[in-house]
Amino acid sequence: MSDLTLPLAIVLFLVLAAEFVNGLNDAPNAIATVVSTRVLHPYHALAMASVLNVMGAALTGTAVATTIGKDIVRPEAIGLPVVGAAVLGIAVWGALATFRGLPISISHGLVAGLAGAGLATAGTGVLLWSGWQKVLIGLAISTVGGFTLALLLMVAIYWVMSRARSHSVRAIFGRLQIVSAGFMAFSHGSNDGQKFMGVFTLAMVLGGVQADLTVHLWVILLCGSVMGLGTAIGGWRVMRTMGFGLTKLDPVHGFAAETAAASAIQVATSLGIPLSTTHTINTAIMGVGASRRLSAVRWSVGGNIIAAWVLTFPACFALAAVFALIFDRLF
């Protein structure tokens, strides 16, 4: 094994920068609904989400990290410029989206960046179908699954609580939403946190300081902590879009959206499927809004969010391809 070189140090720093942006943009995933329903103060919600994000990243295995590290592009066909370019593209695009108050899919940005950088430097043979198949399954879970689970759960709650008084419902689900928000934060860490652990490990293998793609404990803790730091700082503009822009939320709606989204994410994590936690919670919020009536969802805001989702893939693909060609010359 070789010593840490300057190119490797730069790439590892860029991975952590992208992980920070991941926590920054995805912070609203866990706290937007619990803040918008006024169940928790924003700073208390951020503190809870920061801790549980790290715990989720550290305690749920490395199946998703392994998928990202070795199943999206062929590790033997790429070099450090590909990894550095991919994560730099995410950091740039994610920072711009956060400034605009738009939640994006960091997950799709990451796989798009790896694809763009890999194709630019190694050709079409660099892509692996096994990993992309999981990405497509994750897309279905995060969109259809998030919306449907939240809608069905909300209908079930309406049926069970049909004779309860409104103040009783609010009191019960105000307490339960603290639990569901914690579940959402833990689930976010379990899936999103793992992705950059896989990239970090891949960079160390390509840099010659590690022999295989085993994700070590110190990498889990480092990446989880950096993501938690991004969450602690928080993307307030993104939080307002998700918590207040899509639909009016009461504690019962926040509980249903968070529980449905977190459950879908946990299923994907257990199967090693990388999915967009942003897609999952946003479609779940749309689902609880639609349970009242379709007009309860502000579809114009939803349209802006979907546009940001759609643009994320080509934007990160193109940015990473350009950065890869530059890095290939520099390195």
| CA-closest candidate to residue 199, choices 317, 64, 330 | 64
Helix (H) or strand (E) holding 214: none
| CA-closest candidate to residue 235, choices 52, 55, 95, 107 | 95
Rounded distance between C-alpha atoms, residue 268 and residue 135, angstroms: 10
Instruction: Give me the phi and psi of 128, to 5 degrees please.
Output: -120, 125
Residue type, 2: S
Q: What's the pTM? A: 0.85
Query: How much of the chain is helix, strand and coil, in % rounded to 5?
Result: 80, 0, 20
Rounded distance between C-alpha atoms, residue 68 and residue 152, angstroms: 32
Question: What pLDDT is stored for residue 179 in this prediction?
Answer: 92
Where in the chain are the domains? Answer: 6-330
Enter the DSSP assignment of 243.
Answer: I
| CA-closest candidate to residue 205, choices 37, 322, 77 | 77
How would you label 220-232 residue by residue, b for 16+ Cβ within 10 Å and e otherwise?
A: bebbbbbbbbbbb
Sort residue 254 into left (φ over 0), alpha (ψ -120 to 50) or beta: alpha
Surface-to-core class of residue 185, CB atoms within 10 Å of its CB (0-12 exposed, 13-18 middle, 19+ buried): buried
How would you label 266-286 residue by residue, b for 16+ Cβ within 10 Å and e otherwise?
A: bebbeebbbbbbbbbbbbbbb
Tens of pLDDT, residue by residue, the chain (331 residues):
567 889 999 999 999 999 999 888 876 666 777 777 778 887 788 788 878 878 887 787 788 888 888 889 998 889 999 999 999 999 999 988 888 777 788 888 999 999 999 999 988 889 999 889 999 999 889 888 899 999 999 999 988 887 888 788 888 988 898 999 899 989 988 888 788 888 999 999 999 899 888 888 899 889 888 887 887 776 666 766 655 555 677 888 889 999 999 999 999 998 889 888 888 888 888 888 777 766 656 666 667 777 877 889 999 999 999 999 998 887 7
